Amino acid sequence: MRITPRTLADGREIVYYDTDPSAPPRDADDLRDLPAQAPASEMRRDPLTGEWVGLAAHRQTRTYKPPADSCPLCPSAPGKPSEIPESDYEVVVFENRFPSFAQVTGESGTAPCQPLVPSEPARGRCEVVCFTPEHTTSFGQLSPEHARTVVDVWAERTRVLSATPGVEQVFCFENRGEDIGVTLHHPHGQIYGYPFVTPKTATMLRVASEYFDAHGTHVLGDVLAAERACGDRVVVAGEHWTAFVPAAARWPVEVQVVPHRRVPDLVALTEAERDDFVAVQLDVLRRLDALYDAPLPYIAAWHQAPVRTGREFTWLHLELFSVKRSADKLKYLAGSESGMRVWINDVKPEQIAERLRAV
């Protein structure tokens, strides 16, 4: 894969990834008149939960539902410059123009008038991953070869961001559909380099460590073995990956895609494992779109090991979930979920797995 780093007009980095040896050089200049980047990302720790909260007021002015002919993620065209200066691309990654976390400077302190709330510069990195130059397609409609390039890019960016100053955890994810909150419809994902270990990952690592101490095995490995042995909730089974609806699913549509071998992150996957993931993932995504005979809004979230802690207890996996509880109804996070983090699911996991197998 040919990797071409360039610089946008405001100093942000953009990186082109090409697998076609005949692809032209990526040397187009960004001719837009953009102000220099000056994100003021901050994070404060909640003294009641110990969790960090990011503050990024500059994101209020980010791009919101532009018309298709002004999409900032499409290749640039005459008279219509975009975030990608080239007239075409295969897969491209660039620094988010409105980042939640960035290579900011600043001093440690406390929130105004609140000495119990520590404040730190939110020093990390946020990137946008454009899966394809085609505006009207989706990840699930990519060819296996093109989807495999995206997987390789996720792994490469995980490696790069893991070495970025301040980054403690790398999170690759995709938001799809307006019902999820998407404001840019071009097929894309994002990568966050967090300056802390996220609350969900910290909880999963604690549970995995306690389980290993008690049983001498990895909890997700044992969950996977039980799901494969039973089969009631398995949606797609490949040579190296299995996709299943978790028995304690929180969302009305939820699928976990888990490798049969424990690895801490995407970087550690073999060539064969990456190939098989693509086959399983594309199968799952096409089933999700067939569930209600319409593109399903979803979040696809990669759970990877933190950069420096808990790597021996992490089992890489992808979590896919949707807010759609029927063709015309959404699941809203109301009092129990939002207030107490106690989830109430309207659908039995066994039912949704059976329906996904059937479509």
Which residues are tagged catalytic?
188
The annotation status of 71 as a binding-site residue, yes or no, is: yes
How far apart, in Å, are the Cα atoms of 224 and each of 60, 97, 260, 284, 335? 41, 39, 8, 17, 32
CB-based contact 188:174 (threshold 8 Å): yes
Q: How far is residue 356's CA from residue 267's CA, in Å, rounded to a whole number?
A: 30
Q: Alpha-carbon distance 204 to 293, whole Å?
A: 34
Q: Is residue 246 within 8 Å of residue 254, measured between CB atoms? A: yes
Contact 169, 198 (CB under 8 A): yes
Residue 33: φ, ψ to 5°: -95, 90
- Helix, strand or coil, per DSSP, at residue 60: helix
Question: What is the C-alpha to C-alpha distance for residues 142 and 132, in angstroms, rounded to an integer?
Answer: 8
- Positive or negative, the CA dihedral 248, 249, 252, 254 is negative
3-state secondary structure of 311: helix
172 annotated to a ligand binding site: no
- Alpha-carbon span 39 to 118, nearest angstrom: 20
240 assigned ligand-binding residue: no
126 among annotated binding-site residues: no
Annotated binding site for Zn(2+): 71, 74, 135, 186
Annotated binding site: 71, 74, 135, 186
